[in-house]
Structure 1
């Protein structure tokens, strides 16, 4: 029996990750003159916050979802990437950019696995797949051109964060709405209940006659 996916248990994980990513993306795009070193520092905060959210959500739903370890691994990877950028400032900017690229690749792969799990329960997994594809493309571009100009990297990182953040927010809303019984579902259940009640009354009258 397949348990409820972790994202169905903790839809707020996607919402918080999306909000954090959007804030990071807006910062990068609104301040294109920021230095790459400063952006890496902001990325460290972003990665640690996103990682902490994923780890907390995974631990919270570990008893209800058998795929909680995927969220946990995603959170650990992001947290480690953030810690590397924070604790080892002596690393070259090039090395830190590579860390950002690897983090995007690993996160993208894990999000695809989560999307497959989500598809079995509720629609909207394409949002997660699209976000994962964005992360994968971004990670590949970063690793293929780690020495690109600072401005190009800033715009690339900012655009990727903004897009994936928006998709995470849309996914969070989709999952949350899927957990709530809508008016149509309620009307359908009410109609079914009335039909069963009338059928039972007819059977009782038939038995009485």
Structure 2
């Protein structure tokens, strides 16, 4: 049995994260404190990489950890590790914060452009971009779970291959192979010429 590698120090002694999260789902505050200690660093790091603002990053990280407390029962071990689940929550929450700030700015900008009617080419480009995004989503669903997690962490969350390997508790070579295979599969699914 291989030993898990934990970011930030030696492997914690005691129950593993899935077991602790199960206890959190039943309202165990001590288990939550242990989960918090294990995930707060990576959560804050990921959120800070998206938001860049330390104050907002701390606020969003706290929101994510509160969400972990409230929604621990929704975690499904078969869909990935606890750390991947928590970091996915963190990434989504950070992106939501960026989008919220951008939406406010965009509302002001749109108010100034109400009289502007987009040219046909702009509408066509917007439709094509939407179709391309949907095709990428469809192709991502064809990947194996490890390929999907690896691609998501490396290319959507910007983690280095080594960090992906640590988060998924698999050897670096395995991550590189899954990424290569996943990208080839995506390329073929999207019909991109090599």
Query: Which has more radius of gyration?
Result: 1
Q: Which has the higher contact order (CA 8 A, sep 6+)?
A: 1
TM-score interval for Structure 1 and Structure 2 normalised by the shorter chain: under 0.3
**TM-score normalised according to structure 1 size:** 0.25
